[in-house]
Structure 1
C-alpha cells in the first residue's frame, strides 16, 4: 500500500501507450525523408528522398515535439520540465496537431493533382504514423496537476533560455511570413501546427514557467525582443518581398495599441477609431511636400510626425468632448458616425463639393520618401553587409515608433490616471463616487489614443506614398479599418501590450497570405470571435484581472484567485463571526 502511494506520476502512467506514441512519432518523423508524391506539379516539390520539403518539415517538427512530450511523461531524465502540469492534455493536443498537419498535406496533394494515386507510399506512412500517437494519447488517463515550484536556475541559464526562445520565435515568424503566396497549402499547414503547438505549450504549463523566467529578467527580455525584431529584415531570404507585410503589421499593431488604451483600459467602445489614423496620414501628406498637396510646405519628418499627432489629438478632443458623456452602445454609434463623417469629408474636399484640400476621392499621391541626414528611406542601403530595401528601412523606423508607443502605454497604464481608467471601465458610477472625474479621464484616454494612431498614420502615408479616403472605413477587405482594429484588440487580449500585437499580426497576415479567401474573411473573423468567446473569452494573451473574472468558477491551478480568502482563512472568519454572535 505504501509503495503505491509513493509512486511518481510518471510511474503510474501506462508505459505501453507512451512508448507507442514515441514509436509512432519516430515513424512519422522518418516518413518526412521519403517522397510524398511522384510529380513536381504539386507546390513545394515533395518528390525528393532524403531531404524534407517545407511541408514535410512541419510534420517533422510536430513529430519531434510529440515524441519529446511522450518521453517527458515516461520520466526520462532531463525532459521532465516539459510537462509541469501534466502530460496527457498537451501530448494529445500536440499529437492531434501533427496528425492534422500531415492529413491536410496529403489531402491537398489529392485535391490539387486530382487522384489518390498521386500519393507516394511516404505520404500514406506519414498519415498512419501520425495517427497512432493521436489515438494513443487520447486513451491516456488524465494526469492534470498543479505545477510544482520550479527549480531556481542560475541567471546565465535563464538568459540563455530567453535568448533561445526569442531565436526560435523569430525563426517561426520568419518561416510563416516567407511562405510563397502561390503555395497557400504551406501557410495553412503552418497555421495548423503553430495553433496546436501554442495550445499544447499553454496546457503543459511550460508557457507559465517561461513567463516567470521572463518576469525575473525583464531587462533581458526587452533587449532580446528588440534585437529579434531588428534582426528580421537581415535574415529575409527573399529580400524586400515580404518585408512590406511586416511593415503593415507593425503599423496595424501600433494603431491597435492606441485603441487598446480607449477600449482595453478605459472601456470605451470606439467604432470609428481608424479616422484618427487617417487624420495623421492626411496631415503628413499635406505637409511633407507632396506634389498634389494644397499647401506648398515640406516639413522634416519629425515635424510632420508631431503635426500629425497634434492634429489627431485635436480631432480626438473635438469628437470626445460632446460624445464621451454617452455610454455603451450610444457611444459606439456616435463614434461610428464620426468615423464615416471623416471619410466622407475627405472625399468632398475636392474643390467642387468643398475646398480644394485633399483632392477628394483621388487622394494625395506622390508623397515623397523620408530622408534623415542624407539617408533616403526609399532607396536600398547596405548595412552590416546586408542590402536593405525601402520597406526594410520603414520596418526599422516602425520598430522605433512601436517601442515609443509601448513605453507610453505601459507608463500610462501603471500611472494614477491608468488606474482611474480601469476604475471607470469596471464601474463608472462607483469610480465617480470615489472622486474620479469620469469625463476628464475618458477624454484624456480618447485624446492619447488618437495621438498614437496619428503617429502611426504619418509613417503609413510615406510607406504607401498615397492617401485615399477608401483606406479609412469601418469595415473593408484591407486592414487596418475600425472593425479589424477592434477585433485585433479583443482577439489578442484587452488591456495587455502583447495581445493587440499578436492579434494584429494574425488578422493582417492571414488575409495577406490567403487572398483566395478574401471574400469570406469577415465570415471567418466572425466565427473566430464566436469560438474565442466560448473557449477563451479573455483573449489569446490574457490580462490577469480578466482571466480571473472569466474563469472565476473554473479549475485554474496556474492562476490562483487572490480575491477569495483561503479555505482556512474563510473558516476562521466564519468561526470568529459565529463566536461573536454567540457572545
Structure 2
C-alpha cells in the first residue's frame, strides 16, 4: 500500500517577486558585482594623489598615504565592500547584516559617493577648475559612481507580515501565534542555558560593548577635532549615511540589545570613555567645546524628565538654567554680587539647585493645571519674564541684584580641596588645562543627573509620569494625582538644570540675560534644548545626550556658512525627522508609534534577524 504525500499549500506572494527590483534596471548579480568592484576601485583611488598642489587643506598630493577627505572616502569604501561581501554570504561577515544587506549597501555607497564627489567639487571650486585634479581625483569619482550605480540596482525588500489563512477566525489566528510563541520559549529552555538562543556569552558581549564605546569615542574625537570646514562637511556626509547603513543592516539594533542586557556596564563604560577624551587633546581648544556640550547635554537630560517622561511641553526651560547660574554666581565671590560672600563649591551648588527647584515649584504650582498648548504658552512666557527681570534688576529699573544687562562678571574659578580648576595640572604625564578640568567636573555632574533620571524613571513616580504622558484622564481615573505628579517632574527637572547652571557660571566667568533666550543662533536656549530631546529620543538616557552633542557641535562647526548656517542646519533637522522621526536613540514604544506593522518586526526584532 502506497501513500502519496503532498506539500502543504502556501499562499502565493507575487508581490514579493515584483518587489525585488532596484532603481537601475540591471540584473541583481551584476549590480552586486558593480557595487563590490566600484568599492574596491574607490578604495584604491584613496592611495593616489587627488590634486597637484597642497593649497587645498589636507595635502591630497601624496601617493600611498591617504589624508584628510581621502581617509573618509577610504572608510566609506571599506564599509561598502564589507557589506557587499556579506551579501554574498562570505563566512565571518554575515554578522554585519542580520537584517539584510541590500538596503545597507545602498546607503553606504551613497555616503561614499557623496563624500567623494563633494571632495572633487570642493577641490575644483577652491583651486579654480577640474584641471587641478590628479588621476586619483577622477578615479575616485568614477569608482564611487560605479559602486552607487550597482547598489541602486539591488532590490528593495520590505518585511512581509506572517501569512494568515483567510478561513481562520481571529481566535484561531491568535491560538496559532500563541502556539508559535510557546514553541520558541520551550526551545529556549531546552538548550539548558540561561541566555536566549543565538546570543553570545557574557564576556563576548562585554567586549562588544567596549568596542562600540571605543568606536564612539574615536568618531566623536575625530568630528570635534576636524581642522577645516571641508573636512567637517565630508565627515557629516559619511557619518550620517554610515549610521543609516548600519541601522538598516540591523547591526545597531543588535548592538542596542546587547547594551540593554548590560546597562550598568554600558553606562560605566560610556562615562569612562568620556573621561578619556581630555587626555586625547593636546590643548584646551576642543576641551572647551566638550565642556559646553556636557552642560547643554545635562540640561537636555533634565528637560527629558519634563517632556520625555511626563509629557509636559516646557518652552522656557532654559530659564531654570539661568536661575541656577545667577544664584551660584551671586554667592561665589564675584565683585559684582551685592552679597559679597564666597561660598565653597558644594554650598554654591546646593544654592543653585535649590533656587531652581523653588522657582520650578513657584512657576509650576499655578500653571500645571493647564494642558497642551496653554501650558506651552505659559512656560514660554516664564522664560521671557525671567530674562526681562534679570535685565531690570540693575539698580535703576529695580533693585541692584543682577547688574542688569552687564550681568554678574569676574566669577572666580572653582577650588575643591585645594584643586584649582583654573590652572593646568599634570595627571599621569598628561597636562590637563582649565576647560579639561571643568569637563571632568561636569562629567561627574552629568553622572549624577543620569543616576537621578534612571532611578526616577524606574520608580513608582516614574511610571506615574509615563501614565500621565500617555493619557492623563485615564491615569487620574486609576487614582494618580496628576497635578502632584506633574509638579514633582517640574521641580526635579528644574533642580537638575540648576546643577548645570552652577558649573556654567564658573566656566563662562560671566552670567548675562542674553545667554538665556528662547531661540538664538547658538545653544543653549529653550528651542535647541527641546530639539535635542526630540531628535535624540524622548524618554531615553542616551538620546538627549547624543542629540545635545550634535546640536551643539554642528552649529559651532558650520559658522563658516554665515547667514546660511541656520538654513543648512534646519534642512538637516528636517531630513532627520523625515527619515528618523522616533529619534536617534528611541525606546520601543516610540518605534511602534512611528513605524507601520510591516516595519515593526525589523525595527523591534530581538534577534536582529
Instruction: Extract unaligned runs of 5+ from structure 1.
Output: 6-12, 563-583
Contact persistence 1:62–1:97 (CA under 8 A): yes
| Aligned counterpart, 1:452 | 496
Q: Structure 2: how far apart are the matches of 1:179 and 1:216?
A: 34
Q: C-alpha displacement at 1:187, in angstroms?
A: 0.3
Aligned match for 1:22, one of 18, 36, 40 = 36
| Aligned counterpart, 1:157 | 204
Q: Structure 2: how far apart are the matches of 1:360 and 1:433?
A: 48
1:344 aligns with 2:388: yes
After TM superposition, the structure 1 stretch with the greater mean CA deviation from structure 2, 477-486 or 426-435, is 426-435
Q: C-alpha displacement at 1:524, in angstroms?
A: 4.0
Q: C-alpha displacement at 1:433, in angstroms?
A: 1.4
Q: C-alpha displacement at 1:441, in angstroms?
A: 0.8
1:483 aligns with 2:527: yes
Q: Structure 2: how far apart are the matches of 1:219 and 1:549?
A: 28
> Cα distance 1:320–1:525, how it changes in 2: closer, same or farther (>3 A)?
farther
1:440 aligns with 2:484: yes
Q: Structure 1: how far apart are the matches of 2:604 and 2:400?
A: 60
Aligned match for 2:264, one of 200, 211, 219 = 219
Aligned match for 1:371, one of 415, 422, 428 = 415
| Aligned counterpart, 1:206 | 251
1:417 aligns with 2:461: yes
SS across alignment from 1:242 = helix
Q: C-alpha displacement at 1:206, in angstroms?
A: 0.7
1:465 aligns with 2:465: no
SS across alignment from 1:558 = helix
| Aligned counterpart, 1:579 | none
Aligned match for 2:307, one of 250, 259, 263 = 263
| Aligned counterpart, 2:133 | 119
Q: Structure 1: how far apart are the matches of 2:533 and 2:129?
A: 43
> Cα distance 1:145–1:327, how it changes in 2: closer, same or farther (>3 A)?
closer
1:192 aligns with 2:206: no
Deviations 1:198-240 (A, max 9, x none): 101111011111112222233332232122111111112x421
After TM superposition, the structure 1 stretch with the greater mean CA deviation from structure 2, 157-166 or 504-513, is 157-166
Q: C-alpha displacement at 1:560, in angstroms?
A: 5.1
| Aligned counterpart, 1:318 | 362
Aligned match for 1:390, one of 419, 434, 437 = 434
SS across alignment from 2:601 = coil
Q: C-alpha displacement at 1:426, in angstroms?
A: 1.2
Contact persistence 2:59–2:68 (CA under 8 A): no
1:517 aligns with 2:564: no
Q: C-alpha displacement at 1:14, in angstroms?
A: 4.4
Contact persistence 1:86–1:145 (CA under 8 A): no
1:110 aligns with 2:124: yes
Q: Structure 2: how far apart are the matches of 1:513 and 1:53?
A: 20
> Cα distance 1:365–1:228, how it changes in 2: closer, same or farther (>3 A)?
same
Q: C-alpha displacement at 1:142, in angstroms?
A: 3.6
Contact persistence 2:315–2:527 (CA under 8 A): yes
Q: Structure 2: how far apart are the matches of 1:414 and 1:518?
A: 44
Contact persistence 1:361–1:469 (CA under 8 A): yes
SS across alignment from 1:453 = helix
- Count of residue pairs brought into register by the alignment: 551
Q: Structure 2: how far apart are the matches of 1:544 and 1:398?
A: 30
Q: C-alpha displacement at 1:518, in angstroms?
A: 4.7
Q: Structure 1: how far apart are the matches of 2:605 and 2:46?
A: 45
SS across alignment from 1:112 = helix
| Aligned counterpart, 1:92 | 106
Matches within 5 A, 1:7-46: 14-46=28-60
Q: Structure 1: how far apart are the matches of 2:307 and 2:366?
A: 18
Contact persistence 1:262–1:445 (CA under 8 A): yes
Contact persistence 1:285–1:467 (CA under 8 A): yes
Contact persistence 1:270–1:332 (CA under 8 A): yes
Contact persistence 2:414–2:422 (CA under 8 A): yes
| Aligned counterpart, 1:565 | none
Deviations 1:173-209 (A, max 9, x none): 10000112xx111001001100001101111011111
SS across alignment from 1:268 = coil
Q: Structure 2: how far apart are the matches of 1:496 and 1:136?
A: 38
Instruction: Extract unaligned runs of 5+ from structure 2.
Output: 1-6, 11-26, 161-183, 185-195
Q: Structure 2: how far apart are the matches of 1:219 and 1:415?
A: 17
Q: Structure 1: how far apart are the matches of 2:315 and 2:567?
A: 19
Deviations 1:112-152 (A, max 9, x none): 11211111111110011111111111111245559x98733
Q: C-alpha displacement at 1:389, in angstroms?
A: 0.5
SS across alignment from 1:284 = helix
User: What value does the CA root-mean-square deviation take over the aligned residues?
Assistant: 2.2
After TM superposition, the structure 1 stretch with the greater mean CA deviation from structure 2, 522-531 or 223-232, is 522-531
Contact persistence 2:158–2:598 (CA under 8 A): no
Q: Structure 1: how far apart are the matches of 2:315 and 2:564?
A: 21
